[in-house]
């Protein structure tokens, strides 16, 4: 690892908090989110931008995912992105995988193009860095997901490499751009 990069810490951030922004509430997931998750990830246009989501994705898949994420105590933060009515419209997750923090996110297609995911991701990372100020966050997006790559660029992520990654929804390998954020590079939106 480059000596100029902060080392990744073994400390943990604690339980997933509730975060409020001007338009959104990010909160831990609830079992009652399952229908909204199934509707969102059942949309191929959303699922194809994610590596691990199968097609079709239905209510049982959403329930199984919620049961897995809630059954085991993990250091992961998995936020339900909601508007003022507490309806689940997306997810922002910061997960510890193989000793590295990974950011992933998705949004119901109806809400695309409104800056909602930019706001949600920025708020989640900002709160995470309050608890984990030295953590390096890894992320990425399929090369054809320009909106996601713009979010990462805006927040200070750097491109590390491009590799092919299997997409379950696409049923094929696709070019995937891997990114990384070091704390001094994080740009909080104004």
- What is the CATH classification number for the domain harbouring 50? 3.40.630.30
pLDDT of the chain, 190 residues: tens digit per residue: 444 444 444 588 989 999 999 999 999 999 999 999 999 999 999 999 999 999 999 999 999 999 988 777 788 999 999 998 999 999 999 999 999 999 999 999 999 999 999 999 999 999 999 999 999 999 999 999 999 999 999 999 999 999 999 999 999 999 999 999 999 999 987 6
Contact 94, 137 (CB under 8 A): yes
> What are the angstrom distances between the C-alpha of 104 and each of 29, 48, 77, 94, 133?
15, 14, 11, 7, 19
Number of domains, the chain: 1
Is 6 among the domain residues? no
Is 10 among the domain residues? no
> What are the angstrom distances between the C-alpha of 62 and each of 31, 34, 133?
9, 5, 32
Domain residues for the domain of 38 are: 19-185
> What number of other Cβ atoms are within 10 A of residue 176's Cβ?
18
Q: Could you tell me which of 134, 37, 128, 138 has the C-alpha nearest to residue 82?
A: 37
């Amino acid at each position: 690892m480059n000596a100029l990069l902060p080392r990744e810490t073994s400390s943990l951030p604690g339980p997933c908090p509730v975060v409020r922004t001007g338009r959104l509430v990010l909160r831990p997931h609830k079992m009652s989110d399952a229908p909204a998750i199934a509707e969102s990830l059942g949309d191929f246009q959303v699922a194809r931008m994610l590596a691990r989501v199968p097609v079709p994705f239905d209510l049982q898949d959403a329930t199984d995912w919620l049961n897995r994420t809630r059954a085991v105590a993990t250091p992961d933060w998995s936020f339900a992105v909601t508007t003022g009515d507490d309806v689940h419209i997306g997810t922002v997750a910061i997960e510890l995988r193989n000793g590295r923090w990974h950011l992933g996110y998705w949004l119901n297609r109806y809400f695309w193009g409104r800056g909602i995911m930019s706001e949600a991701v920025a708020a989640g990372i900002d709160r995470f860095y309050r608890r984990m100020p030295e953590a390096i966050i890894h992320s990425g997006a399929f090369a054809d997901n320009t909106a996601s790559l713009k979010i990462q660029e805006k927040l200070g992520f750097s491109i590390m490499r491009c590799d092919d990654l299997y997409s379950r929804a696409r049923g094929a390998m696709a070019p995937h751009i891997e990114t990384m954020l070091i704390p001094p590079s994080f740009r909080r939106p104004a």
